[in-house]
Structure 1
Amino acid sequence: MTFQGSGPLEGGNVSAGGSGGRGGKIAVGGGLGIILAVVALLFGMNPGDFLGGGNAGPTNSADVSELQQRLDNCTVEDANTDDVCRLKATAISVSKVWSNLMPGYVEPQMTIFTGTVQTACGPASSAMGPFYCPADQTAYFDPSFFADLKRMGGSDGPLAQEYVVAHEYGHHVENMTGVLAKGQRLGNAGSVRIELQADCLAGVWAYHADKGPEATLKPLTEEQIATVIKSAKAIGDDTIQGARSNPEGWTHGSAEQRVRWFKIGYNGGDPQRCNTFATNDI
């Protein structure tokens, strides 16, 4: 359990979407979609065409309606036991932290879907893993990703799930500051810096989310932080690519880098320390 308090979850700009069909699975960590979406937007391509999404197809309105009703009825207590409600509670928590830290912060949207979904970046599938589309300022999540993350060697524990949300919302912060556009111009090297910065910003959220009279999280434990570290290691480029991993082809950073940058953000909660573009030591 990580969330404290009781009663209904209100706010968060969270809605249900998707067609209910399952796309082909690939082993990716949170954040792959943002890079592909940016590339697609700049070069007029459809990310769904090369991510297994293709045409998102007709939406199963009954499934979406049921998911939306589930979201509308979420409580704080539910957020400690239910993945869908946990996503909503985390969206509220992350935006609450960034509203206090970042002047002019604009809360993004979150869409929770199953299988495939239509986005302003084109149709996409759950094969992308969680992703953020800058064109509609929306973070997209298929909750089934958490089971995939566990199979990849990560954790499906509550805080590990919340870290994934905070990482994608970190991309929204980067979009607002112009870092996304800057990173895209630098190719793979820029992609790595974008992803590591998002990990650091997720750490910033974790530092602040359990502090103060209006804290949304109960005090975090070392065991909970360990689940985040385990997941960050599991989605490092070198972990995913294996023994023949080539750093020149990395897009997200190594397991060690992802863990280190999360810790930089978590140790003190200062977003100014997350500027991965201001150092050669990433």
Structure 2
Amino acid sequence: MTFNEGMQIDPDRVSSGGGPGMGGKIALGGAGGLIVLVLALVFGGDPGSLLREVTGGTTSTQSAAGAKTPAHCKTGADANKYVDCRVVLTAQSLDSVWGSKLPQQTGTKYAAPKVRLFTGAVSTGGCGRATTAVGPFYCPADHTAYFDTSFFQELVDKFGSSGGPLAQEYVVAHEVGHHIQNLLGDSGRAAKSAQGATSGSVRLELQADCYAGLWASYADKLPAPGSNQPFLKPLSNKDIQDALSAASSVGDDRIQKAATGRTNPESWTHGSSSERQKWFLTGYHNGQVKACDTFSATNLDNPPAYR
């Protein structure tokens, strides 16, 4: 079990359900957007355009509020048992770590992202309508991370990830990593270079992996608000391997090779399996935002701060 059982889950931390969206802007994927990513990697084309087609990015109705945190999610024990509760408590842990470390390391105040759980399909407040096929994603326009928890089993069944808790928590931390980029003004840095092994898109995704590792470096040490215990129990080597398994399973090279038997770095949008693992470990071992500067790295498979 990953969480300390006595941790209290905030009944207001997430919302659930769908609701019509306003549409128009692209969502940031990561571990999410996998079906779109596979289409782009195998058949070529702009993944942004494909995502807009899948999500229906031209809808124009107003967004509706969803229900709150699922009623059965009360404590850390529930987070260890139920995947939806795990998403909620992971979000709270991310709030705790980033609320402390972001202003300390960058001078930027942390504002928590919204988190929405959905099933089947959801409409956002700025990135159109999305289905489960898109996977978890972050919408910069409404500052919300979206999760259909059925994705976590697909990550195992279709992409070969391990099913450990930290593999799932890595996905949540990666999407919140995109929110950190939004707060720091970096979300738009991928726009000029959407594809390729050294593209802005790849650098953005690897940075979100690094931010996920940064969270993990403090999540089992930093006391939770109002407690003398951290949210997570001490992470074991197996826990870290679970996170690395998830990161590897969604590498561009691995997805391409499974689909076509070959790789084409010119169409990459998220980075190779090796790169995704190394940048997660860079954040984990260093615990510093500055160590996650993928945009300055000259060799993405050899992070300067990696050890």
TM-score range, shorter chain: 0.7 to 0.9
Change in 2 beyond 3 A, CA 1:223/1:190: same
The correspondence of residues 93-112 of structure 1 with structure 2, limited to 5 A, is: 93-103=93-103, 104-112=109-117
> Residue 254 of structure 2 is aligned with which of 236, 239, 260?
239
CA distance in 2, matches of 1:270, 1:12: 30
CA distance in 2, matches of 1:46, 1:96: 35
On the 8 A contact 1:111/1:141 being kept in 2, the answer is yes
Counterpart for residue 234 of structure 2: 219
> Residue 117 of structure 1 is aligned with which of 116, 122, 129?
122
On the 8 A contact 1:15/1:71 being kept in 2, the answer is no
The correspondence of residues 4-83 of structure 1 with structure 2, limited to 5 A, is: 4-6=4-6, 8-10=8-10, 13-18=13-18, 30-32=31-33, 50-51=53-54, 68=68, 70-71=70-71, 73-83=73-83
Secondary structure in structure 2 of the residue aligned to 1:150: helix
1:76, distance to aligned residue in structure 2 (A): 1.6
Counterpart for residue 278 of structure 2: 260
Number of aligned pairs? Answer: 258
On the 8 A contact 1:46/1:122 being kept in 2, the answer is no
CA distance in 2, matches of 1:125, 1:162: 21
Provide, for residues 150-207 of structure 1, a one-character-per-residue CA deviation record: whole Å limited to 9, x for no partner.
Answer: 0110122111100000000000000111111122222220100000000000000000
1:143, distance to aligned residue in structure 2 (A): 0.2
**Could you say what the CA RMSD is over the residues aligned between the two structures, in angstroms?**
2.7
Unaligned runs of 5+ residues in structure 2 are 20-28, 38-47, 104-108, 225-229, 301-307
Change in 2 beyond 3 A, CA 1:264/1:54: closer
Are 1:164 and 2:180 counterparts? Answer: no
Q: What letter matches 2:233 in structure 1?
A: K
Q: What letter matches 2:218 in structure 1?
A: H
Which structure carries more helix by proportion? Answer: 1
1:254, distance to aligned residue in structure 2 (A): 0.3
Are 1:201 and 2:211 counterparts? Answer: yes
Provide, for residues 58-105 of structure 1, a one-character-per-residue CA deviation record: whole Å limited to 9, x for no partner.
Answer: xxx9xx75xx46247432210001000000000000111000011211
CA distance in 2, matches of 1:259, 1:126: 25
Q: After the TM superposition, which of the residue ranges 173-182 and 104-113 deviates more from structure 2?
A: 173-182
Provide, for residues 94-118 of structure 1, a one-character-per-residue CA deviation record: whole Å limited to 9, x for no partner.
Answer: 1110000112110000000001001
On the 8 A contact 2:56/2:128 being kept in 1, the answer is no
Change in 2 beyond 3 A, CA 1:71/1:111: farther
Q: What letter matches 2:101 in structure 1?
A: L
1:8, distance to aligned residue in structure 2 (A): 3.5
On the 8 A contact 1:12/1:91 being kept in 2, the answer is no
Change in 2 beyond 3 A, CA 1:29/1:172: closer
Secondary structure in structure 1 of the residue aligned to 2:133: helix
> Residue 133 of structure 1 is aligned with which of 135, 139, 145?
139
Q: After the TM superposition, which of the residue ranges 242-251 and 140-149 deviates more from structure 2?
A: 242-251
1:13, distance to aligned residue in structure 2 (A): 3.0
Are 1:89 and 2:89 counterparts? Answer: yes
Q: What letter matches 1:167 in structure 2?
A: H
Q: What letter matches 1:247 in structure 2?
A: P
Provide, for residues 238-274 of structure 1, a one-character-per-residue CA deviation record: whole Å limited to 9, x for no partner.
Answer: 0001032111100000000000000000012111100
CA distance in 2, matches of 1:271, 1:71: 35
Which aligned segments of 4 or more residues in structure 1 are displaced greater than 4 angstroms? 45-49, 52-56
CA distance in 2, matches of 1:7, 1:229: 26
CA distance in 2, matches of 1:114, 1:122: 16
> Residue 243 of structure 2 is aligned with which of 196, 219, 228?
228
Q: What letter matches 1:107 in structure 2?
A: A
The percent of aligned pairs where both chains have the same amino acid is 46
TM-score of the superposition, structure 2-length normalised? Answer: 0.77
Change in 2 beyond 3 A, CA 1:124/1:236: same
1:212, distance to aligned residue in structure 2 (A): 3.6
On the 8 A contact 2:97/2:222 being kept in 1, the answer is no
CA distance in 2, matches of 1:226, 1:181: 31
